[in-house]
């Protein structure tokens, strides 16, 4: 009985400590841009949690400006039904992963009257569209207008990988904390029983 309890506790402890962060639901993505005119963005990165259909981090860097798109990604401007009835962060992720079924989506950036950067999908056939954008400042000439297409890919380095701009602070995954706590409690129980003998 004593050996069995030790084995169970050790298995729980090993499982709690060996869960890789890569399988956590929030996943960090990098965005690669192609320009159809104007200067390319330096880069963009976002962290999306498919369990909650929300973005915890989303920044893009263009012309020396940093655009925080997190709020806009969680509450996109939606007209009609551009992404099969999806709303909020789920609709934005569908836009970014190019799974909406409308015309070609594009990124845009312009400086006039203030720096703005975003992503949109506008249909030529119907009035459906989805847009996320953010502003930055102050205005620094020249007054560029740019745009193009993009692709997304999972960031193999996660939110701590090398990027053109600093990343947000990582937060522990709740399931890992529960597993670690269970292992510690089991180990404490074994030590308590051993001490009482």
Q: Does the pLDDT value for residue 52 go beyond 90?
A: yes
Residue 175 is predicted with a pLDDT of 58
Report if residue 168 sits inside a domain.
no
Q: What is the pTM of this model?
A: 0.67
- Nearest CA to 42 out of 181, 135, 165, 138 is that of 165
Report if residue 194 sits inside a domain.
no
Mean pLDDT of 185-194: 72
Report if residue 14 sits inside a domain.
no
24 neighbors 42 (Cβ within 8 angstroms): no
Report if residue 190 sits inside a domain.
no
Report if residue 191 sits inside a domain.
no
pLDDT cut 70: percent of the chain above it: 68
Report if residue 22 sits inside a domain.
no
Distance CA(139)–CA(136), nearest Å, equals 8
Residue 159: domain span: 28-163
- The count of domains in the chain is 1
- Nearest CA to 56 out of 24, 79, 81, 34 is that of 24
- Nearest CA to 44 out of 138, 147, 167 is that of 167
Q: Does the pLDDT value for residue 174 go beyond 60?
A: no
Residue 169 is predicted with a pLDDT of 43
Distance of CA 159 to the CA centre of its chain: 9
Greatest CA separation for the chain: 79
Report if residue 87 sits inside a domain.
yes
Report if residue 64 sits inside a domain.
yes
Of the listed ranges 42-46, 89-93, 156-160, the least confidently predicted one is 156-160
Mean pLDDT of the chain: 78
Distance CA(6)–CA(182), nearest Å, equals 14
């Amino acid at each position: 009985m004593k050996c069995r309890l030790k084995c169970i506790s050790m298995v729980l402890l090993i499982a709690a400590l060996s869960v890789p962060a890569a399988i956590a639901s929030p996943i960090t993505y990098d965005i690669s841009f192609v320009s159809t005119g104007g200067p390319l963005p330096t880069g963009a990165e976002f962290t999306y949690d498919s369990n909650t259909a929300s973005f915890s981090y989303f920044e893009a860097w263009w012309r020396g400006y940093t655009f925080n798109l997190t709020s806009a990604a969680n509450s996109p401007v939606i007209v009609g039904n551009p992404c099969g009835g999806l709303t909020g962060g789920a609709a934005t992720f569908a836009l970014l992963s190019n799974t909406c079924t409308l015309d070609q989506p594009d990124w845009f950036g312009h400086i006039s009257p203030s720096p703005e950067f975003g992503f949109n999908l506008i249909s030529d056939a119907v009035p459906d569209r989805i847009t996320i954008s953010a502003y930055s400042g102050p205005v620094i000439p020249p007054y560029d207008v740019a745009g193009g297409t993009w692709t997304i890919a999972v960031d193999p380095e996660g939110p701590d990988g090398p990027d053109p701009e600093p990343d947000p602070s990582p937060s522990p995954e709740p399931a890992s904390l529960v597993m670690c706590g269970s292992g510690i409690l089991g180990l404490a129980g074994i030590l308590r029983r051993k001490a009482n003998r």
